[in-house]
């Protein structure tokens, strides 16, 4: 969930005033932070479960406590606030600095009523992708088998398993992430329709251990590197099966060119959809590849 602003009622001493004041956390900061600096603080932040995460430039960390407390003041459900830096390393984890509230990084986030256990200190999780996960889950049909090769804390897998009678292999190299998924499967056990096998391995090794034509669907959500794994994944997908892969490009044409250059297999390309902003003029695209 991304919060742009909050509505606070203007109650005084328990008596609700007639006028409802609408303000965001930056209004609170107006008297505390110089105007030029305030401009550099983003107006929105992510909320994962009961933890808020704001992208705060390093040079503004000295104002972190003010920013964190202002967010706590306007968001009743937020209990901890972290400033986030770059997403780093193989596990795609954000660099975090605690700025206010509880010193806790584990929480349970809800997407479409599905409980997702996340530890933001050692796993990747992006709440902005919830609709995208639902769209992909809606493409899976009861009885199908699915490979979620870079499952992270397993949000794609959980959407599929909670809505379809599918068999899913969910793999990630980060054992903190697969531990989170294990816990989420437990939290959602009453809602589960599908069956999930969790694997904690390197994607290439896992692909090498899978026979040709095994899966109806595969999801490859590692946008900056997914093309390295497409040929091997193509081999493991059944004829007529689909790979949903994500990659970074400036537009659809560049996305298709990147695919053509990187991949030897000749899949039929279906839908190409822009799903997320990545950097200035760079976006994450989902490409649908169908095996001939
Ligand atoms: C962008 S995250 C996506 C996670 C998940 N699909 C989601 O939507 O939240 C990519 C994931 O790939 C995992 N990863 C990176 N390299 C890997 C590899 N060689 N084998 C398996 N997993 C890998 C990372 O640990 C990370 O959890």
42 within domain boundaries:
yes
Residue that terminates a domain, selected from 47, 72, 104: 104
Averaged pLDDT, 142-150: 98
Domain that holds residue 81: 2-104
Alpha carbon distance 43, 74 (integer Å): 13
- Number of structural domains the chain divides into: 2
Q: What does the pLDDT read at residue 213?
A: 98
Q: How far is the CA of 34 from the centre of ligand 1 (A)?
A: 40
Please give the C-alpha separations between residue 175 and each of 117, 130, 182, 199, 239, in angstroms, as whole numbers.
14, 22, 10, 9, 32
Q: How far is the CA of 190 from the centre of ligand 1 (A)?
A: 27
DSSP assignment string, 227-284:
GGGHHHHHHHEEEEEEEEEEEEESSHHHHHHHHHHH--S-PEEEEEEEEEEEETTEEE
pLDDT digits (tens, 9 = 90+) for 203-260: 999 999 999 999 999 999 999 999 999 999 999 999 999 999 999 999 999 999 999 9
Q: How far is the CA of 87 from the centre of ligand 1 (A)?
A: 12
Mutate to test the pocket of ligand 1, among 129, 150, 217 (most ligand atoms within 8 A of CB): 150
Residue 78 sits in the same domain as residue 148: no
Alpha carbon distance 78, 116 (integer Å): 17
230 within domain boundaries:
yes
**pTM for the whole thing?**
0.91
Q: What does the pLDDT read at residue 3?
A: 54
The domain spanning residue 85 has which CATH number? 3.30.300.110
Alpha carbon distance 179, 117 (integer Å): 9
Ligand 1 closest atom vs CA 154:
5
Q: What does the pLDDT read at residue 17?
A: 29
Give the end-to-end CA distance of the chain in Å, rounded to a whole number: 38
Residue 39 sits in the same domain as residue 156: no
Please check whether residue 285 is in contact with residue 272, taking contact to mean a CB–CB distance below 8 angstroms.
yes
Nearest C-alpha to atom 9 of ligand 1 is from which residue? 125
Residue 231 sits in the same domain as residue 284: yes
State CA 210 to chain mean position distance. 26
The domain spanning residue 140 has which CATH number? 3.40.50.150
Residue 98 sits in the same domain as residue 139: no
Residue 8 has pLDDT above 50, yes or no: no
Residue 15 has pLDDT above 70, yes or no: no
Residue 71 sits in the same domain as residue 134: no
Q: How far is the CA of 221 from the centre of ligand 1 (A)?
A: 7
Residue 21 has pLDDT above 70, yes or no: no
Strand partners, 20: 9
Averaged pLDDT, 169-185: 98
63 within domain boundaries:
yes
Residue 157 sits in the same domain as residue 240: yes
Q: What does the pLDDT read at residue 141?
A: 98
Residue 45 sits in the same domain as residue 175: no
Residue 17 sits in the same domain as residue 81: yes
Residue 76 has pLDDT above 70, yes or no: yes
Mutate to test the pocket of ligand 1, among 152, 198, 218 (most ligand atoms within 8 A of CB): 152
Residue 143 sits in the same domain as residue 70: no
Pocket of ligand 1 (CB under 6 A): 90-92, 124-126, 129, 150-152, 155-156, 171-174, 177, 202-203, 221-222
Nearest C-alpha to atom 7 of ligand 1 is from which residue? 152
Q: What does the pLDDT read at residue 182?
A: 98
239 within domain boundaries:
yes
Residue 284 sits in the same domain as residue 149: yes
116 within domain boundaries:
no
111 within domain boundaries:
no
């Amino acid at each position: 969930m991304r919060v742009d602003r909050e509505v606070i009622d203007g109650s005084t001493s328990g008596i609700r005033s007639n006028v409802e004041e609408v303000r965001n956390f930056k209004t609170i900061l107006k008297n505390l932070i110089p105007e030029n600096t305030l401009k550099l603080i983003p107006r929105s932040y992510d909320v994962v479960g009961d933890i808020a995460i704001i992208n705060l430039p390093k040079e503004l960390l000295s104002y972190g406590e003010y920013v964190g407390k202002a967010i706590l003041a306007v968001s009743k459900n937020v209990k901890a606030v972290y400033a986030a830096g770059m997403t780093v390393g193989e596990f795609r984890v954000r660099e975090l600095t605690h700025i206010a509230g509880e010193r806790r990084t584990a929480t349970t986030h809800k997407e479409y009523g599905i409980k997702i256990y996340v530890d933001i200190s050692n796993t990747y999780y992006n709440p902005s992708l919830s609709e995208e996960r639902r769209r992909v889950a809606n493409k899976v049909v009861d009885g199908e088998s699915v490979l979620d090769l870079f499952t992270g804390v397993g949000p794609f897998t959980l959407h599929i398993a909670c809505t379809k009678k599918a068999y899913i292999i969910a793999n990630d190299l980060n054992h903190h992430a697969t531990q989170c998924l294990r816990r989420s499967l437990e939290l959602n056990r009453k809602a589960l329709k599908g069956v999930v096998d969790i694997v904690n391995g390197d994607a290439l090794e896992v692909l090498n251990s899978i026979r040709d034509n095994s899966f109806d669907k595969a999801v490859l959500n590692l946008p900056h590197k997914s093309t390295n794994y497409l040929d091997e994944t193509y081999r493991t997908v059944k004829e007529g099966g689909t790979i949903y892969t994500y990659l970074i490009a400036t537009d659809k044409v560049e996305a298709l060119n990147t695919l053509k250059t990187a991949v030897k297999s000749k899949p039929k390309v279906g839908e190409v959809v822009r799903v997320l902003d990545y950097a200035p003029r760079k976006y994450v695209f989902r490409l649908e590849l169908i095996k001939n």
